Amino acid sequence: MSFALWMLLHLVLAAAGTWLARGYALRRQLLDQPGERRSHRVATPRGGGVAIVATVLAGMAWLGWREPGQAGVFAWVAAGLVVVAAVGWIDDHRPLSPWWRLLAQAVAGGLLVVAMTQSGAALWICLLAWVLVLGLSNAWNFMDGIDGMAASQALVVAGGFGLLLTGSGAWTWLAAGVVAAILGFLPFNFPRARIFLGDVGSGALGYLVAVLLVVTVMHRPGAWPVVLLPLAAFLVDTCFTLLSRMLRGEKWWAPHVQHAYQEWARVHGSHAGVTLAYVLFSLAAVLLMLGALRWSPPAPAWMSAVVYAIAACVWISQKRDRRLSKETGQ
């Protein structure tokens, strides 16, 4: 199979699967209703991310068949994806306690650790894998609040890691498959969402980003911590928002619209502009990541710190402006 055909198949399968998922959601009335804790204004089907999951799982099965030596590794990676997606799918149908979701993510992280162990990864990389699955699965779930946001960010980040994994065999093909599957889904979700990822999709995308990040670190250990650059926008918005909610004594795990991107979208009345702004920031971060790896070893560390500091300043500035506008009644 050619690389172009591989990506085309993922794109077509994900697009067809999203169309089917939308029909299923409408029949089952799996709709996200507008509300004070939502950023959308019309009832919208959810659960479209199951198409990405199914497509990527099919790709993993083919990669395991094509490279028998890697079959066990991909089986463990796929098992982790199934666990994260399954608990999200259940939650899309019948809301679960966040602690059940966290337990499932912890199990999925353990399955990825097994996969990395079989790949010969160092102990610190295995521990990193477990932490990243929990962190990024939740980050993508928290940040999936406006049209195209979570899917577009996963597209940019996975594409960046895919470029770093060029020449890494089956992992290169996996990264390309993830990118193509997201491209198949995205027209249904942006610029106007006709279906949302749902918990099945947002958690799965976070898991897949964690997989690609860990594999990148494993194949290019000198890339740490520059590989965190593409995640700056999501991690800063997630961590700062959750920390501020904790400090105010709020239920940080409950749905809300306090992320910087949600407040920005509400002020400007447009999801598309905010999503594109985040995309441009992350694209710049990917380009910096690729450029930094051509520099001397000290460059990546300070460059990562600068980009995260910039993202933090933007977050603080946005929050300050929003607070001032409330005080002045504008």
* 33-54 per-position pLDDT tens digit: 876 656 667 889 999 999 999 9
Q: Which residue has the higher pLDDT, 91 or 247?
A: 91
Domain count, the chain: 1
Task: For the chain, give the longest Cα–Cα distance.
Answer: 65
Q: Which residue has the higher pLDDT, 46 or 304?
A: 46
The token pair at 60 is 């993993």
Q: Which residues contact 242 (CB under 8 A, 6 or more apart)?
A: 142, 252
pTM of the model: 0.93
In which band, very low, low, confident or very high, does the pLDDT at 327 lie, cut at 50, 70 and 90? Answer: very low
pLDDT at 32 over 90: no
Give the model confidence (pLDDT) of 231-280 as tens digits.
Answer: 998 898 888 888 888 888 887 777 777 787 888 777 777 788 899 999 99
Domain that holds residue 241: 3-328
